[in-house]
Amino acid sequence: MRILVTGAAGSIGRVVTLGLGDRGHDVVGLDLVPEPDGFTGPRHTADCSDARAVQAVFADERLDAVVHLAGHPGEADLPTSLTSHVITTAALLDACVAHRVSRFVYASSNHAVGRTPRASTAEGVISDDALPRPDTFYGVGKVAAEALMRLYADRHSIDAIACRIGSFLDEPGTTRALSTWLSHEDCVRMVEAALTASSPGFAVLYGISNNTPAWWDLEPGRRLGYDPVDDAEAYADHVAVRDVDDAEAAHVGGPFAGEEFYRPALGNQGLTSSALEGGH
Protein backbone atom coordinates (compact mmCIF):
# COMPACT_ATOMS: atom_id res chain seq x y z
CA MET A 1 0.00 0.00 0.00
CA ARG A 2 1.33 3.48 -0.88
CA ILE A 3 0.39 5.82 1.94
CA LEU A 4 0.69 9.58 2.34
CA VAL A 5 1.44 10.41 6.00
CA THR A 6 0.86 14.08 6.88
CA GLY A 7 2.63 15.49 9.91
CA ALA A 8 5.32 12.93 9.17
CA ALA A 9 7.92 14.84 11.18
CA GLY A 10 5.69 15.19 14.27
CA SER A 11 5.80 13.03 17.39
CA ILE A 12 3.17 10.54 16.18
CA GLY A 13 4.22 10.97 12.55
CA ARG A 14 7.82 9.89 13.17
CA VAL A 15 6.65 6.67 14.81
CA VAL A 16 3.93 5.89 12.25
CA THR A 17 6.10 6.73 9.23
CA LEU A 18 8.89 4.37 10.30
CA GLY A 19 6.46 1.75 11.68
CA LEU A 20 4.44 1.47 8.46
CA GLY A 21 7.69 1.27 6.48
CA ASP A 22 8.86 -1.60 8.73
CA ARG A 23 5.57 -3.37 7.98
CA GLY A 24 6.23 -3.29 4.26
CA HIS A 25 4.20 -0.24 3.20
CA ASP A 26 5.49 2.49 0.87
CA VAL A 27 5.29 5.72 2.79
CA VAL A 28 5.29 9.21 1.33
CA GLY A 29 5.96 11.86 3.97
CA LEU A 30 4.39 15.32 4.06
CA ASP A 31 5.16 18.01 6.61
CA LEU A 32 5.92 21.69 7.01
CA VAL A 33 9.41 20.77 8.20
CA PRO A 34 11.98 18.23 6.98
CA GLU A 35 11.46 14.54 7.70
CA PRO A 36 12.96 12.85 10.73
CA ASP A 37 16.23 10.91 10.69
CA GLY A 38 15.83 7.39 9.44
CA PHE A 39 13.13 8.12 6.87
CA THR A 40 14.49 7.63 3.39
CA GLY A 41 11.26 7.55 1.35
CA PRO A 42 9.78 10.29 -0.81
CA ARG A 43 8.75 13.41 1.03
CA HIS A 44 7.08 16.74 0.38
CA THR A 45 7.29 19.99 2.31
CA ALA A 46 3.90 21.72 2.24
CA ASP A 47 1.13 23.17 4.39
CA CYS A 48 -1.91 20.87 4.42
CA SER A 49 -4.24 23.87 4.70
CA ASP A 50 -3.02 25.00 1.25
CA ALA A 51 -5.36 23.16 -1.14
CA ARG A 52 -3.20 23.85 -4.22
CA ALA A 53 -0.07 22.52 -2.51
CA VAL A 54 -1.97 19.41 -1.40
CA GLN A 55 -3.32 18.81 -4.93
CA ALA A 56 0.24 19.11 -6.27
CA VAL A 57 1.44 16.37 -3.90
CA PHE A 58 -1.38 14.05 -5.04
CA ALA A 59 -0.59 14.83 -8.68
CA ASP A 60 3.06 13.78 -8.09
CA GLU A 61 2.34 10.53 -6.24
CA ARG A 62 0.20 7.49 -6.91
CA LEU A 63 -1.49 6.96 -3.53
CA ASP A 64 -3.74 4.28 -2.05
CA ALA A 65 -4.42 5.96 1.28
CA VAL A 66 -3.87 8.99 3.48
CA VAL A 67 -2.99 9.02 7.18
CA HIS A 68 -3.68 12.58 8.33
CA LEU A 69 -1.67 13.34 11.45
CA ALA A 70 -0.75 16.98 10.79
CA GLY A 71 -2.29 19.52 13.14
CA HIS A 72 -1.62 21.64 16.20
CA PRO A 73 -1.73 19.14 19.10
CA GLY A 74 -3.07 21.46 21.79
CA GLU A 75 -5.56 24.21 22.51
CA ALA A 76 -5.59 27.39 20.40
CA ASP A 77 -8.17 29.99 19.43
CA LEU A 78 -11.04 28.81 17.24
CA PRO A 79 -9.81 30.10 13.84
CA THR A 80 -6.42 28.47 14.41
CA SER A 81 -8.07 25.20 15.46
CA LEU A 82 -10.44 25.21 12.48
CA THR A 83 -7.58 25.81 10.04
CA SER A 84 -5.37 23.22 11.67
CA HIS A 85 -7.96 20.43 11.87
CA VAL A 86 -10.86 21.20 9.50
CA ILE A 87 -9.32 23.09 6.56
CA THR A 88 -6.42 20.62 6.33
CA THR A 89 -8.87 17.69 6.38
CA ALA A 90 -10.99 19.38 3.70
CA ALA A 91 -8.00 19.98 1.42
CA LEU A 92 -6.91 16.35 1.76
CA LEU A 93 -10.42 14.91 1.27
CA ASP A 94 -10.94 17.03 -1.86
CA ALA A 95 -7.62 15.72 -3.20
CA CYS A 96 -8.70 12.15 -2.34
CA VAL A 97 -11.87 12.61 -4.40
CA ALA A 98 -10.00 14.20 -7.32
CA HIS A 99 -7.33 11.46 -7.36
CA ARG A 100 -9.54 8.49 -6.44
CA VAL A 101 -7.88 7.74 -3.10
CA SER A 102 -10.53 5.90 -1.10
CA ARG A 103 -8.97 5.37 2.35
CA PHE A 104 -8.54 8.19 4.88
CA VAL A 105 -7.28 7.62 8.43
CA TYR A 106 -7.38 10.58 10.78
CA ALA A 107 -5.73 11.43 14.10
CA SER A 108 -8.84 12.65 15.88
CA SER A 109 -8.79 12.93 19.64
CA ASN A 110 -10.51 11.97 22.86
CA HIS A 111 -11.13 15.71 23.20
CA ALA A 112 -13.93 15.42 20.61
CA VAL A 113 -15.93 13.95 23.51
CA GLY A 114 -13.71 15.30 26.30
CA ARG A 115 -16.39 17.26 28.13
CA THR A 116 -18.40 14.07 28.73
CA PRO A 117 -18.55 13.47 32.50
CA ARG A 118 -17.04 10.06 33.16
CA ALA A 119 -19.81 9.40 35.69
CA SER A 120 -22.35 9.61 32.84
CA THR A 121 -20.70 6.78 30.88
CA ALA A 122 -21.48 3.09 31.38
CA GLU A 123 -18.99 1.89 34.03
CA GLY A 124 -16.78 4.90 33.26
CA VAL A 125 -16.15 3.66 29.70
CA ILE A 126 -17.14 5.75 26.69
CA SER A 127 -17.93 4.14 23.35
CA ASP A 128 -18.20 5.16 19.70
CA ASP A 129 -21.90 6.05 20.01
CA ALA A 130 -21.12 9.00 22.32
CA LEU A 131 -22.46 12.30 21.02
CA PRO A 132 -19.89 14.99 20.19
CA ARG A 133 -19.00 16.85 23.38
CA PRO A 134 -15.75 18.76 22.88
CA ASP A 135 -13.85 20.17 25.84
CA THR A 136 -11.88 22.84 23.94
CA PHE A 137 -11.68 24.60 20.55
CA TYR A 138 -9.16 21.87 19.75
CA GLY A 139 -11.97 19.36 20.41
CA VAL A 140 -14.41 21.44 18.32
CA GLY A 141 -11.92 21.21 15.45
CA LYS A 142 -11.75 17.43 15.82
CA VAL A 143 -15.56 17.11 15.91
CA ALA A 144 -15.87 19.21 12.74
CA ALA A 145 -13.13 17.26 10.98
CA GLU A 146 -14.95 14.02 11.85
CA ALA A 147 -18.20 15.50 10.47
CA LEU A 148 -16.42 16.34 7.23
CA MET A 149 -15.10 12.77 7.01
CA ARG A 150 -18.60 11.43 7.44
CA LEU A 151 -19.89 13.73 4.67
CA TYR A 152 -17.17 12.51 2.28
CA ALA A 153 -17.82 8.89 3.23
CA ASP A 154 -21.52 9.36 2.38
CA ARG A 155 -21.02 11.43 -0.76
CA HIS A 156 -17.91 9.84 -2.24
CA SER A 157 -17.72 6.38 -0.58
CA ILE A 158 -14.39 7.20 1.06
CA ASP A 159 -13.55 4.79 3.87
CA ALA A 160 -12.81 7.31 6.63
CA ILE A 161 -11.67 6.19 10.07
CA ALA A 162 -11.41 8.68 12.92
CA CYS A 163 -8.94 7.44 15.55
CA ARG A 164 -9.80 9.26 18.77
CA ILE A 165 -6.33 9.09 20.25
CA GLY A 166 -5.84 9.15 24.02
CA SER A 167 -2.38 9.99 25.37
CA PHE A 168 0.39 9.12 22.90
CA LEU A 169 3.46 8.95 25.15
CA ASP A 170 6.70 6.97 25.53
CA GLU A 171 5.22 5.78 28.81
CA PRO A 172 2.32 6.83 31.08
CA GLY A 173 3.35 9.37 33.72
CA THR A 174 0.06 10.23 35.48
CA THR A 175 -2.89 8.35 36.95
CA ARG A 176 -5.08 9.49 34.01
CA ALA A 177 -2.52 8.28 31.50
CA LEU A 178 -2.68 4.80 33.06
CA SER A 179 -6.15 4.68 31.46
CA THR A 180 -5.58 6.81 28.37
CA TRP A 181 -2.09 5.73 27.22
CA LEU A 182 -1.39 4.75 23.62
CA SER A 183 2.02 3.11 23.20
CA HIS A 184 4.15 3.68 20.12
CA GLU A 185 3.79 0.09 18.91
CA ASP A 186 0.02 0.04 19.48
CA CYS A 187 -0.27 3.31 17.58
CA VAL A 188 1.29 1.68 14.52
CA ARG A 189 -1.02 -1.35 14.99
CA MET A 190 -4.01 1.01 15.20
CA VAL A 191 -3.12 2.92 12.04
CA GLU A 192 -2.41 -0.26 10.08
CA ALA A 193 -5.76 -1.77 11.17
CA ALA A 194 -7.58 1.41 10.12
CA LEU A 195 -5.79 1.29 6.76
CA THR A 196 -6.63 -2.33 6.04
CA ALA A 197 -10.09 -2.92 7.60
CA SER A 198 -12.51 -4.21 4.99
CA SER A 199 -15.00 -1.55 3.78
CA PRO A 200 -15.55 0.26 7.09
CA GLY A 201 -17.22 3.35 5.59
CA PHE A 202 -17.10 6.05 8.26
CA ALA A 203 -15.95 4.61 11.60
CA VAL A 204 -14.66 5.82 14.95
CA LEU A 205 -12.22 3.94 17.16
CA TYR A 206 -10.52 4.84 20.42
CA GLY A 207 -6.75 4.99 20.21
CA ILE A 208 -5.53 3.58 23.50
CA SER A 209 -3.48 0.57 24.49
CA ASN A 210 -4.91 -2.49 26.20
CA ASN A 211 -4.86 -0.65 29.54
CA THR A 212 -6.28 -2.48 32.55
CA PRO A 213 -8.28 0.52 33.78
CA ALA A 214 -9.36 1.80 30.32
CA TRP A 215 -11.69 4.81 30.02
CA TRP A 216 -12.54 4.03 26.41
CA ASP A 217 -14.16 1.09 24.72
CA LEU A 218 -11.74 -1.02 22.68
CA GLU A 219 -14.52 -2.91 20.89
CA PRO A 220 -15.00 -0.38 18.03
CA GLY A 221 -11.28 -0.75 17.30
CA ARG A 222 -11.36 -4.53 17.60
CA ARG A 223 -14.17 -4.64 15.03
CA LEU A 224 -11.75 -2.93 12.64
CA GLY A 225 -8.90 -5.32 13.51
CA TYR A 226 -7.09 -3.17 16.09
CA ASP A 227 -5.89 -5.48 18.85
CA PRO A 228 -3.69 -3.49 21.22
CA VAL A 229 -0.99 -5.39 23.10
CA ASP A 230 0.59 -3.03 25.64
CA ASP A 231 -0.91 -2.28 29.06
CA ALA A 232 -0.13 0.91 31.01
CA GLU A 233 -0.55 -1.11 34.21
CA ALA A 234 3.07 -2.27 33.75
CA TYR A 235 4.13 1.31 34.64
CA ALA A 236 1.75 1.81 37.58
CA ASP A 237 4.51 1.50 40.21
CA HIS A 238 6.33 4.48 38.67
CA VAL A 239 3.31 6.80 38.68
CA ALA A 240 2.98 9.13 41.68
CA VAL A 241 -0.46 10.05 43.04
CA ARG A 242 -1.16 13.81 42.56
CA ASP A 243 -3.73 16.20 44.08
CA VAL A 244 -5.20 16.87 40.62
CA ASP A 245 -5.90 13.20 39.85
CA ASP A 246 -9.58 13.34 40.94
CA ALA A 247 -10.23 16.53 38.96
CA GLU A 248 -8.58 14.98 35.90
CA ALA A 249 -10.80 11.91 36.27
CA ALA A 250 -14.06 13.92 36.29
CA HIS A 251 -14.29 14.26 32.51
CA VAL A 252 -13.12 12.13 29.62
CA GLY A 253 -10.77 14.91 28.44
CA GLY A 254 -9.01 15.23 31.81
CA PRO A 255 -7.23 18.57 32.24
CA PHE A 256 -8.60 19.95 28.92
CA ALA A 257 -12.05 20.10 30.57
CA GLY A 258 -10.72 22.38 33.33
CA GLU A 259 -11.39 26.12 33.71
CA GLU A 260 -7.78 26.98 32.92
CA PHE A 261 -8.64 26.24 29.28
CA TYR A 262 -11.58 28.66 29.15
CA ARG A 263 -10.87 31.51 26.71
CA PRO A 264 -12.69 33.58 24.07
CA ALA A 265 -13.18 31.69 20.80
CA LEU A 266 -11.69 34.52 18.75
CA GLY A 267 -8.86 35.36 21.11
CA ASN A 268 -9.45 38.79 22.52
CA GLN A 269 -10.81 40.14 19.21
CA GLY A 270 -14.45 41.11 19.26
CA LEU A 271 -14.65 41.55 23.02
CA THR A 272 -14.90 44.95 24.63
CA SER A 273 -12.60 45.63 27.53
CA SER A 274 -15.58 45.50 29.94
CA ALA A 275 -16.53 42.06 28.61
CA LEU A 276 -12.95 40.92 29.11
CA GLU A 277 -13.21 42.12 32.70
CA GLY A 278 -16.44 40.19 33.17
CA GLY A 279 -18.91 42.99 32.34
CA HIS A 280 -21.68 42.97 29.71
Binding residues (CB under 6 A) for ligand 15L: these are 73-74, 109-111, 165-167, 180, 254
Q: Least Å distance between CB 86 and ligand 15L?
A: 15
Helix (H) or strand (E) holding 189: helix 184-196
- The set of catalytic residues is 138
Alpha-carbon gap, residue 273 to 279, rounded angstroms: 8
Q: Least Å distance between CB 257 and ligand 15L?
A: 10
The helix/strand/coil state of 153 is helix
- 4: β partners: 28, 66
Q: Least Å distance between CB 156 and ligand 15L?
A: 27
- Between 6 and 109, whose beta carbon lies closer to ligand 15L? 109
| Contact between 85 and 145 (Cβ < 8 Å) | yes
Q: Least Å distance between CB 122 and ligand 15L?
A: 20
Sign of CA dihedral 188, 223, 85, 24: positive
State which amino acid sits at residue 161: I
- Between 228 and 254, whose beta carbon lies closer to ligand 15L? 254
- Between 96 and 113, whose beta carbon lies closer to ligand 15L? 113
Alpha-carbon gap, residue 213 to 179, rounded angstroms: 5
Give the C-alpha distances (Å, rounded to integers) separating 39 from 43, 44, 56, 176, 207: 9, 12, 21, 33, 24
For helices 137-156 and 88-98, what crossing angle results, to 10°?
A: 10
Alpha-carbon gap, residue 122 to 130, rounded angstroms: 11
- Between 110 and 116, whose beta carbon lies closer to ligand 15L? 110
Q: Least Å distance between CB 265 and ligand 15L?
A: 19
- Between 17 and 136, whose beta carbon lies closer to ligand 15L? 136
Alpha-carbon gap, residue 179 to 118, rounded angstroms: 12
